[in-house]
Structures are given as C-alpha cells and as structure tokens.
C-alpha cells in the first residue's frame, strides 16, 4: 500500500490521540480524529474563574521523555512551555501530624525522621545487594528488598499515591516504574546505576528530557489548543457519542460511515468493548483485568493566604498515616499567574485505589473532608476559600499490576490478528503526560518508517 492510499482514524482527542494525529499529519498522512466529548483534551482541562487559573485533570508533568520536549519545540509558535520555579524543589511528606521536607542528599538526609536509623545505614549497602530475579516483582517487594520498610512507608508509598493513586503492593515495577526496574537490571543498583548513568550522559550530546516539572503558560489547555490548531478543526470530529467501529475487510474499517485503512485507538480499556464489538471476548477479558484508580480532585483558591508558608511543590501522605487525602499540590506557588498575589491555589487529591468508596461521597461530604484536612494540614484557623471546585474521575489512572504482561500480550495479539489496528492510550507505555506524547510520536514515526 502506498502512503497516499492510507486513511487513518484516531479515536480519542486526549493528549495521546492529538499527539499521534499531529505527527501523522506533519509526516504527510491523511488523518481524522473522532472524539466522544464536545471538546478536545480528554482529562486535560483548564478553567479560569475568580482570578484563578486551574486544572481539573493533570496539573503538571515531568519532562522525562525526549519526545515531550520535542513536541514543545515543534509547537513553540503556538504555546509556551513553562517550567516550575525553584519552589517546586521542596517536597513534603506528612508524618506524625506535620510536614517534613523530603531530602535525599546532604545532612538533612541523615537527620530526617522519615527513615529509621536501621534503614539509613542499610541504604549504604544498596549498591552491593543482588538484583532481583522476578520480572513481576511488585514495587513494595523491590523496595523492601533493596531499601527497607521505612523507605517504602514514607517515600515510595506516598510517591505512588501522587503518581498512580496506587498501591505499591500491587503495582509491578517492570511496568509501573520501568526506568527503576532497568536501573537495577542493567547496573545492579539504584544508587550505583544512577551515578553511572549520569557519568555516561556527560559524554553524550545534551538531552532534552531533563525531568523538570512542566506545565504550559496560562494553562495546559493551551497545549491542546496548539495541537488542535495544527491538526485542523476539519480533521477532528467532536460529539461522536455512539461510535462503533466495524472491521469490514482485510485492513479495512468503517468508522462513522467512512472507510479507513487504519484505526488507532487511544481510549481507556474500559471503552474498548463498545467501540470495537468485533474484538474477541477472551482477549478483552484479559485486557479488562486491569483496574483504574478513581480519583476526586478538590481545587481550592484563597485570595489572601493565611496558612503555613507554601513555597513548595506540595505534600504527599503515606497511606499508613490514615488520612483522607492522598496529597495536596500547590500549583499557585510554582507556576506563574495561577492565583492572585498573596493568594494560594491548592489541588487536594482523594480516593485512589485504596479508597475507591470515596468516589461515591456527596459534594457535601467531600467539602467537609477538604475543610477538615486542609485546616489541619495547612495551618488555617478559618476555612473560607474564594474558590472551591470538585472534579471526579472514575477511570483516572490505570494500574499496571499483576496482569500487565498478559494484557500487553493480548494487545499485541489483537494488533497482529486485525491488521491496521493499533490499541494505544495510557493502558500501556506509561501514564504520565510525557509518556503519552512519546507514545503518540512513536506510533507516527512507525507509520513514517513503514510508508516512506
């Protein structure tokens, strides 16, 4: 098949779908995006109200992939990448009724109450411990083996609440934190491996992926608008409420009455069965074993902040502390123009994989919890926010757990059986925004390679 004979449908206009379509179009392919909602962006949505600019989905990403940095370079005329200011370097962990700064280097790393003396000494032996042999080891098993229980309780558990709203006892390292897994496998140690990687990188050309915290000036929806502008409104069909895709022949699909040679799905696994009724049930059952964390995000704005000093990225809460929040993010402190001067913008996260029942709580109950937790944790005498918005996500974050290997195999089998079909999105290849940009770019690169 020649390049000009291809007609590609991308399902879903979230970050993955839009990045895929953007590069496909840039590489000269004919592409049409289909989206269920009446707007693009998926979970990325920015709101502007009462002098605050706030996100209802992701707030920030980590620039961990070259492809993400390159996408921002490619879109530089239409949106401006914003890196967090220095305040974001301060990260807090809640322990025994107060916040403690997370310090992994210097004197504070020795004096911190977050880790036991036993584990602080034990970490010195980390480079000498043998690498694991179980490819499906969970993050909790791996951290206990290499670092100790207090690191799991007060560093890794809250970190995973922040990233996955997940549980270290069920997330499998190879899929959920692949960079960490391969650090151990390739170098035998996290500490030794990080040092060796740093040294090796000094000899290579500078990398664009710098792991800094990023957003977009004046809100993440400006990235979405930039992608939409470059793809072209005419190539994005919104409001496709009842889409059902048919496999009408060898490498032939019908989407909304139009014929396509290729379909790239970027929707969540829970939406696949209705969308692709021709996919065999037993493979879908395997894919659908993957759970999603349900998350509630409460955004609070204060015109005049009277709580504790908030020059920080935010704080995370170990699940062993038994609080009702996963963490509190402070975007007004490290991003420009998000809150009035002397004001504060807080994003409070609740629920997650360990507390799914919270998703059902009424607005009143959520407000009560937000007030109780924020008053105590952020040192407020009175609670009179100038902005309070609640956002709920039934399928916020996919959990790369024990079924991951089987799921990836099932996806690969389906893609082999149905030529022209790609099953992508955040059910595989990483959940972060940078991972999503990488996946979209990689898919488009593969098309460019296959159809020169």
- Contact residues for 96 (Cβ-Cβ < 8 A; gap 6+): 113
Please select the residue that binds ligand FAD; options are 6, 10, 14, 428, rule is CB under 6 A: 14
- Is the Cβ of residue 37 or residue 235 nearer to ligand FAD in the bound state? 37
Phi then psi dihedrals of residue 53, to 5 deg: -115, 115
For ligand FAD, what does the binding mask look like between residues 212 and 251, x meaning CB under 6 A? ----------------------------x--x--------
d(CA 57, CA 220): 10
Q: How many Cα atoms within 13 Å fall on the side-chain side of residue 19?
A: 27
Q: Does 358 bind ligand FAD (CB under 6 A)?
A: no
Residue 252's alpha-carbon distances to 36, 255, 420, in angstroms, are: 22, 10, 8
Q: Does 432 bind ligand FAD (CB under 6 A)?
A: yes
Please select the residue that binds ligand FAD; options are 6, 7, 12, 260, rule is CB under 6 A: 12
Please select the residue that binds ligand FAD; options are 6, 11, 180, 255, rule is CB under 6 A: 11
> What value, to the nearest 5°, has the Cα angle with vertex 283 and ends 279 and 287?
105
For ligand FAD, what does the binding mask look like between residues 367 and 406, x meaning CB under 6 A? --------------------------x--xx---------
Q: How far is CA 320 from the centre of its chain?
A: 23
- Residue 118 CB, shortest distance to ligand FAD, in Å, is 33
Please select the residue that binds ligand FAD; options are 32, 58, 92, 401, rule is CB under 6 A: 58
- Is the Cβ of residue 333 or residue 426 nearer to ligand FAD in the bound state? 426
What is the b/e burial string over 120-132, where b = at least 16 CB atoms within 10 angstroms of the residue's CB? bebbeebeeeebb
Q: Which stretch binds ligand FAD (CB under 6 A): 31-39, 183-191, 211-219, 306-314?
A: 31-39
Strand order in 91-95's β-sheet? 98-101, 91-95, 314-316, 327-329, 344-351, 292-302, 387-398
- Is the Cβ of residue 226 or residue 397 nearer to ligand FAD in the bound state? 397
- Residue 33 CB, shortest distance to ligand FAD, in Å, is 9
Alpha helix positions (H), 288-362: 331-334
Number of residues interacting with ligand FAD: please give it, by CB under 6 A.
36
Pairing of strands 91-95, 314-316: parallel
d(CA 137, CA 132): 8
Q: Which stretch binds ligand FAD (CB under 6 A): 8-16, 182-190, 314-322, 333-341?
A: 8-16
d(CA 30, CA 1): 14
- Residue 380 CB, shortest distance to ligand FAD, in Å, is 24
Rg (CA), the chain: 23
- Residue 416 CB, shortest distance to ligand FAD, in Å, is 23
- Give, as ranges, the residues between 277 and 306 that touch ligand FAD (CB under 6 A): 295, 297
- Give, as ranges, the residues between 308 and 327 that touch ligand FAD (CB under 6 A): none
Which residue in 62, 52, 58, 78 sits closest to 15, CA to CA? Answer: 58
Q: Does 57 bind ligand FAD (CB under 6 A)?
A: yes
Q: Are the C-beta atoms of 14 and 58 separated by less than 8 Å?
A: no
Please select the residue that binds ligand FAD; options are 161, 266, 286, 319, rule is CB under 6 A: 266
Q: Which stretch binds ligand FAD (CB under 6 A): 12-20, 87-95, 138-146, 444-452?
A: 12-20
Q: Output the six-digit token pair for 341.
A: 């001067």
Please select the residue that binds ligand FAD; options are 109, 191, 271, 448, rule is CB under 6 A: 271
Which residue in 154, 162, 160 sits closest to 114, CA to CA? Answer: 154
Q: Which residues bind ligand FAD (CB under 6 A)?
A: 11-17, 34-37, 42-44, 57-61, 240, 243, 266-267, 271, 275, 295, 297, 393, 396-397, 425-426, 431-433, 436
């Amino acid at each position: 098949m020649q390049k000009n004979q291809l007609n590609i449908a991308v399902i879903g206009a979230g970050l993955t779908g839009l990045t895929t379509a953007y590069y496909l179009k840039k590489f000269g392919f004919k592409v049409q995006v289909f989206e269920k909602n009446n707007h693009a962006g998926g979970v990325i949505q920015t709101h502007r109200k009462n002098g605050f600019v706030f996100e209802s989905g992701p707030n920030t990403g980590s620039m961990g992939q070259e492809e993400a940095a390159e996408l921002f370079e490619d879109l530089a005329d239409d949106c401006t990448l914003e890196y967090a200011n220095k305040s974001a370097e301060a990260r807090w962990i809640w322990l025994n009724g107060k916040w403690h700064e997370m310090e992994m280097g210097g004197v504070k790393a020795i004096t911190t109450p977050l880790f036991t003396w036993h584990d602080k000494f034990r970490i010195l032996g980390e480079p000498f411990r043998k690498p694991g042999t179980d490819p499906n080891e969970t993050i909790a098993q791996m951290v206990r083996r290499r670092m100790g229980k207090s690191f799991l309780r007060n560093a890794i558990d809250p970190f995973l609440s922040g990233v996955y709203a997940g549980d270290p006892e069920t997330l499998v390292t190879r899929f959920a934190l692949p960079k960490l897994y391969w650090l151990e496998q390739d170098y035998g140690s996290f500490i030794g491996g990080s040092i060796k990687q740093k040294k090796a990188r000094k000899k290579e050309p500078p990398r664009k992926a710098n792991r800094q915290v990023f957003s977009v000036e004046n809100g993440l929806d400006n990235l979405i608008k930039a992608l939409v502008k470059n793809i072209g409104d005419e190539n994005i069909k919104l409001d496709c409420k009842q889409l059902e895709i048919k496999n009408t022949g060898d490498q032939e699909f019908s989407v909304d009455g139009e014929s396509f040679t290729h379909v790239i799905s970027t929707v969540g696994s829970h939406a696949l069965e209705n969308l692709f009724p021709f996919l065999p049930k037993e493979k879908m059952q395997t894919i659908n074993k993957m759970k999603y964390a349900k998350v509630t995000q409460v955004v609070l704005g204060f015109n005049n902040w009277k709580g504790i000093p908030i020059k920080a990225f935010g704080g995370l809460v170990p699940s062993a502390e038994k609080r009702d929040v996963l963490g509190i993010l402070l975007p007004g402190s490290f991003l420009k123009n998000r809150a009035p001067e002397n004001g504060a913008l807080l994003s409070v996260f609740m629920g997650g994989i360990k507390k799914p029942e919270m998703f059902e709580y009424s607005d009143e109950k959520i407000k009560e919890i937000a007030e109780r937790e924020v008053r105590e944790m952020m040192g407020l005498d009175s609670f009179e926010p100038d902005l309070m918005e609640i956002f709920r996500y039934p399928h916020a974050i996919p959990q790369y757990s024990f079924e991951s290997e089987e799921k990836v195999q099932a996806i690969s089998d389906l893609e082999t059986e149905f030529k022209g079909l790609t099953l992508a999105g955040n059910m595989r290849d990483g959940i972060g925004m940078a991972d999503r940009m990488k996946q979209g770019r990689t898919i488009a690169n593969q098309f460019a390679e296959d159809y020169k």
